Structure 1
Amino acid sequence: MFKTIKNDLPASIVVFFVALPLCLGIALASGAPLFSGLIAGIIGGIVVGAMSGSNIGVSGPAAGLAAIVLVAITSLGYKNFLVAVVIGGLIQILFGVLRLGVIGYFFPSSVIKGMLTGIGIIIILKQIPYFFGMDKNPEGDFAFLKVEWDNLISGLLNSINALISGNISIGATLIGLISLGILLLWSNVLSKKGKIFQLIQGPLVAVVIGILFYVFTKDGSLGLVSKQLVSVPVPDSLDSFKGQFSFPNFGVITKPEVWITGFTIALVASLETLLCVEATDKLDPHKNVTPTNRELFAQGTGNIVSGLIGGLPITQVIVRSSANIQSGGRSKMSAIIHGFFLLISVILIPTLLNKIPLSVLAAILFVVGFKLAKPSTFKQMFKLGWKQWFPFMATVLPMVITGDLLLGIGLGLIVGIFIILQKSFQNSHFLHKEGEDVNDGKIKMTLAEEVTFFNKGAILKELDNIPENSQLEIDLMNTRYLDYDVIEILEDFALKAKERNINIKLISKRGVVENPPSFIEFFELRPKSSLGLN
């Protein structure tokens, strides 16, 4: 792991500065103590990072769980909720043991790309208030805080109205623009000029400049107020630091509602993790493949530890992971080091962290969001045709409109399945007619390699349209699977064929038969069984 430390150390710094406000924002969105988000970030980096088989995935508190966590804390109480987090971790370990990590591979590539693009757009739009100093709270990854926003669209309209009316912070906007300029200059120009610019990353420089800007302008007209800065809890003694930890109340472990919450956390966290694993593996320039069952085991262990010391539920998170990839991270050391940075910063320099302008962090996330939602991605998906474009957009639009990750993925998956079923309906067979006169010609029906009950309608329609006095040749030479439902259709058609004077020739690897008296007997099938022709 230490062979790539020159790549992992700078990337870990970037991930640290991306993760810090996200940890705080998710805690706020979940109605949990701020410190609980930092605990989850630290455990996600150090514990999960060490156990995971992913080279570039970064774990931490998940905003996709914020709504579930908020309801659970309200109904159960925080210490009782922590028991559910521990239970969720145990269930995730069970998922890994049962080798359920393959679930993520059943999601189409168009849906995964739609998820990444939707996240990128949401990141950009949701950072607008911070960039212009109009909002006061750090934000999460997907289900962002709704302090002044009823939803994404109204929030965007409010931001536009604030910009038009001049209701923005000049200081926050100025340092945001300076930071954005530094990031673009660093990635497009300076990073190619020398190794020093690869070791010292643009986001770090932007953060340092942001702190200096705050220090030198705090008493002037460009000064920033506290709501425009990062807000990390500052303990005044060792006892107060220890007092920020919470511990689960295992006295409620027998309550059904605690187990239901635990299972819900395990299920949603596992699904988010597996989708993020799939997405990050696609983004990885070195195309490493993450062992998904091991990932579930690592995530479960992380959630157990996090729950035992007062932290929020953990998943692998696409925002942190993509920032890690884009910053050149090569091994799991990047995730582990970022976890230690979170731990050290919380202990040693919370006051310094509280001087970082949120507009600087917004500028960093602008770049991350743009790289996820490049216009070229839309162009590429459109060129691939409607079978890729529709599931892609069905994923992006609901996510952007509602901010709901799971809703977008669900609708995209439904559209993808519908397209598969439609193509299966269309590709069940090939019909070829011979002869100048259809009524005197030969008709050849070649069935596909696999024919299921989805194809019943298409095949039945073609058989019903075959004219009287025809010669029908049914070719099954390439068919490896024929559903019993389709055989029943052929059986019924054979009876009608006699009345319509249609001669049937059946060709298969079992031989050639003229006008078989019974298709079912020919294939020697029992009722409700299926045919394997190979």
Structure 2
Amino acid sequence: MTLQTVRSDILAGTVVFLVALPLSLGIAQACGLPPFVGLLTGVVGGIVVTIFSPSRFAVSGPAAGLVTVVAGAMESLGSFSLLLSALVLAGALQLLAGFLRAGRWICLVPGSVIQGMMAAIGLLLILQQTPVALDTDGDSVTKIISPDSVLVALGALLILALWQTRFIKRSRFLGRIPGALMAVLWGSLMVLTNDYLVPGSLADLDRLSLPEIDSFSEVAAQFSHPEFSAFWRNGAVWLTAVTLALVASLETLLSQEALQKLCPQQPQPSADKELLAQGVGNMLSGCLGGLPITAVIVRSSVNVNAGARSKFSVLLHGLLLFCCGLFFETLLNTIPLASLAAILMYTGYRLAHPELFLRQWRLGAVQFIPFIVTASAIVLTGMLTGLALGMLSQLLCSTCASHRSAIQLSSYSNHFVIRFNQNLTFLHNARLRDLLAKIPDNSVVIAEYESAEYMDRDIWLTLAAFSEAAAARGIMLERWPRAEDPQLVDGGVH
């Protein structure tokens, strides 16, 4: 490790820390948990997971994609301790998946379902954080919206949008400052300025509430622990654990795939080893009172773009989060919750960007239907049910598309070519009859069936019936499959 490498890693680690800090605080707040929980999760992901991870550049920590899962689990389980039990169990499931080398099966999850899941997460983030930005719990239409909170949230959203423009990105100075950090600074400056000029004017504006930590015993008091006494018989805990393990693993492995395209590593980091690292991290996070951990592509890409050379940059970001939680709680407590809500709402907007829906629509029904089914089902029913319905709809759409392309009919003047592109079952019989019915009298029909190694008996009966009626209609058959062919003894056509 050279001096130049260390300097690059220090810069990258600092930039990642500035991105991770507001997100960690905002994710904890969105889950209805103390902000210390978000910092703790960032520390475990930034240090422990990084040590075990095979990737040099992946940054792990609390992810916005799991906010909806955690919030729903808190409501269904009724206690944070049971959620921590589910998180420990989810980590154990990830360890088991890593040992069983299940990481390679990520490729079986259709892209349309994954896109639908991310869009649903984005929509849910917007729905959940809008009441926070308005400073209302969303349960009463009669509650007055706080204009101060709205002003802070709108200002933060405008800053986040401005930071995506070419003017900011091309700036050598401003382009290096994370937009999320500027949104947080805007809220803090609003609070500090008003407290100085007009003391008490923003007293009703909800802010972070990190505890003051002056001793080791006070640090220990911030940790929560899972409840293992009766969770084995609690089906809701197991369902939550499976959901957390599935979604966290999906997001992690997809982030690794995206990171590999952004910055290729040779040899490519093992997906199974990454699952093991994430499992260790989630088990430890659950034992200490943290949130679910995943590899996060936003922070990972920031790490690469900032010039990271080794794992030291990720470790440094974890250490900085640790120091921030211990020594800068007074400064962090000036951050309004509306600023953090705006950051998560903007994150949700980018996950569920209208262009994503248009892009899926342009890909055709086979891609759009599973995408919209997944997104809608997750919003209306929950994560696991939505993913299952999305997978089922993709299977049905793909089967229908495959079914239609199995038999094709093309014409050249009065010559017709019917092609059998794959093995045919009784399910293809209706389409075969429809295509044969389109062939007019006094035609020449050529059959191409070399790609079909098997045909059900129903297919042969349909072909035989058409062959018997062909002469009376003046239809000449060429290379037509015959039921008396000796090759049919074993069910094949060759």
TM bucket, shorter chain: 0.7 to 0.9
The equivalent of 1:211 in structure 2 is 188
Distance, in Å, in 2 between the alignment partners of 1:117 and 1:23 is: 21
Structure 2 residue 418 is matched with structure 1 residue 445: yes
- Runs of at least 5 residues in structure 2 that lack an aligned partner in the other structure: none
Match of 1:46, SS? helix
Distance, in Å, in 1 between the alignment partners of 2:277 and 2:470 is: 67
The equivalent of 2:248 in structure 1 is 273
Match of 1:395, SS? helix
Aligned partner (choices 309, 316, 325) of residue 294 of structure 2: 316
Distance, in Å, in 2 between the alignment partners of 1:494 and 1:413 is: 35
- C-alpha distance after superposition, 1:321-357 (max 9, x if no partner): 4365468467666654443333222222223211111
The equivalent of 1:522 in structure 2 is 487
Q: Is the contact made by 2:410 and 2:416 (CA closer than 8 Å) also made in structure 1?
A: yes
Shift of 1:242: 1.2
Change (3 A) 1:370 1:232: same
Correspondence 1:62-81 to 2 at 5 A: 62-63=66-67, 64-68=69-73, 70-72=75-77, 74=79, 78=81
Amino acid at match of 1:446: R
Q: Is the contact made by 1:103 and 1:274 (CA closer than 8 Å) also made in structure 2?
A: no
Match of 1:269, SS? helix
- C-alpha distance after superposition, 1:152-204 (max 9, x if no partner): xxx9xx5xx87xxxx3334333344444444444443244222x334443433
Amino acid at match of 1:14: V
- C-alpha distance after superposition, 1:86-143 (max 9, x if no partner): 34322321111212223432233333333333433443444333334x14xxxxxxxx
The equivalent of 2:392 in structure 1 is 414
The equivalent of 1:369 in structure 2 is 348
TM-score (norm 1): 0.72
Change (3 A) 1:265 1:477: same
The equivalent of 1:99 in structure 2 is 101
Amino acid at match of 2:251: C
Shift of 1:292: 2.9
Amino acid at match of 2:207: L
The equivalent of 1:241 in structure 2 is 219
Shift of 1:420: 1.0
Amino acid at match of 2:95: I
The equivalent of 1:228 in structure 2 is 206
Q: Is the contact made by 2:225 and 2:289 (CA closer than 8 Å) also made in structure 1?
A: yes
Match of 1:225, SS? coil
Q: Is the contact made by 1:95 and 1:296 (CA closer than 8 Å) also made in structure 2?
A: yes
Greater CA drift, 324-333 or 234-243 = 324-333
Greater CA drift, 203-212 or 470-479 = 470-479
Q: Is the contact made by 1:474 and 1:506 (CA closer than 8 Å) also made in structure 2?
A: yes
Distance, in Å, in 2 between the alignment partners of 1:498 and 1:381 is: 43
Shift of 1:447: 0.7
Greater CA drift, 212-221 or 276-285 = 276-285
Match of 1:15, SS? helix
The equivalent of 1:152 in structure 2 is none
Aligned partner (choices 425, 449, 452) of residue 403 of structure 2: 425
Aligned partner (choices 20, 24, 27) of residue 25 of structure 2: 20
Amino acid at match of 1:52: S
TM-score (norm 2): 0.78
> Share of identical aligned residues, percent?
26
Match of 2:418, SS? strand
Structure 2 residue 339 is matched with structure 1 residue 360: yes
Match of 1:431, SS? strand
Q: Is the contact made by 1:56 and 1:334 (CA closer than 8 Å) also made in structure 2?
A: no
User: How many pairs does the alignment contain?
Assistant: 473
Match of 1:427, SS? helix
Match of 1:234, SS? coil
Aligned partner (choices 118, 122, 125) of residue 123 of structure 1: 125
Structure 2 residue 365 is matched with structure 1 residue 389: no
Change (3 A) 1:435 1:402: closer
Q: Is the contact made by 2:445 and 2:477 (CA closer than 8 Å) also made in structure 1?
A: yes
Correspondence 1:44-83 to 2 at 5 A: 44-53=45-54, 55-56=57-58, 58-60=60-62, 62-63=66-67, 64-68=69-73, 70-72=75-77, 74=79, 78=81, 82=84
The equivalent of 2:138 in structure 1 is 148
Amino acid at match of 2:72: A
Shift of 1:218: 2.7
Correspondence 1:253-292 to 2 at 5 A: 256-257=232-233, 263-277=238-252, 279-280=254-255, 286=262, 291-292=270-271
Q: Is the contact made by 2:59 and 2:299 (CA closer than 8 Å) also made in structure 1?
A: no
Shift of 1:303: 2.1
Amino acid at match of 2:350: K
Amino acid at match of 1:267: V
Shift of 1:263: 4.9
Q: Is the contact made by 1:460 and 1:489 (CA closer than 8 Å) also made in structure 2?
A: no
Distance, in Å, in 2 between the alignment partners of 1:247 and 1:234 is: 21
Q: Is the contact made by 1:421 and 1:454 (CA closer than 8 Å) also made in structure 2?
A: no
The equivalent of 2:14 in structure 1 is 9
Q: Is the contact made by 2:426 and 2:459 (CA closer than 8 Å) also made in structure 1?
A: no
Distance, in Å, in 2 between the alignment partners of 1:213 and 1:413 is: 47
Change (3 A) 1:457 1:466: same
The equivalent of 1:172 in structure 2 is 149
Match of 1:352, SS? helix
Distance, in Å, in 2 between the alignment partners of 1:131 and 1:34 is: 17
Distance, in Å, in 1 between the alignment partners of 2:164 and 2:417 is: 61
The equivalent of 2:44 in structure 1 is 43
Distance, in Å, in 2 between the alignment partners of 1:435 and 1:183 is: 62
Distance, in Å, in 1 between the alignment partners of 2:360 and 2:330 is: 46
Amino acid at match of 1:49: T
Q: Is the contact made by 1:58 and 1:316 (CA closer than 8 Å) also made in structure 2?
A: yes
Match of 2:484, SS? coil
Shift of 1:398: 4.4
Change (3 A) 1:246 1:323: closer
Shift of 1:504: 11
Structure 2 residue 456 is matched with structure 1 residue 487: yes
Distance, in Å, in 2 between the alignment partners of 1:376 and 1:88 is: 34
Distance, in Å, in 1 between the alignment partners of 2:468 and 2:179 is: 81
Distance, in Å, in 1 between the alignment partners of 2:327 and 2:321 is: 10
Change (3 A) 1:102 1:222: farther
Match of 2:98, SS? helix
Q: Is the contact made by 1:24 and 1:38 (CA closer than 8 Å) also made in structure 2?
A: no
Aligned partner (choices 263, 285, 309) of residue 306 of structure 1: 285
Distance, in Å, in 2 between the alignment partners of 1:497 and 1:357 is: 76
Distance, in Å, in 2 between the alignment partners of 1:50 and 1:266 is: 24
Q: Is the contact made by 1:247 and 1:308 (CA closer than 8 Å) also made in structure 2?
A: yes
Distance, in Å, in 2 between the alignment partners of 1:168 and 1:66 is: 23
- Runs of at least 5 residues in structure 1 that lack an aligned partner in the other structure: 136-146, 150-154, 437-441, 508-512
Q: Is the contact made by 1:101 and 1:296 (CA closer than 8 Å) also made in structure 2?
A: yes
Distance, in Å, in 1 between the alignment partners of 2:154 and 2:417 is: 69
Distance, in Å, in 2 between the alignment partners of 1:124 and 1:460 is: 50
Amino acid at match of 2:192: V
Amino acid at match of 1:414: L
Change (3 A) 1:72 1:257: farther
Match of 1:228, SS? coil
The equivalent of 1:143 in structure 2 is none
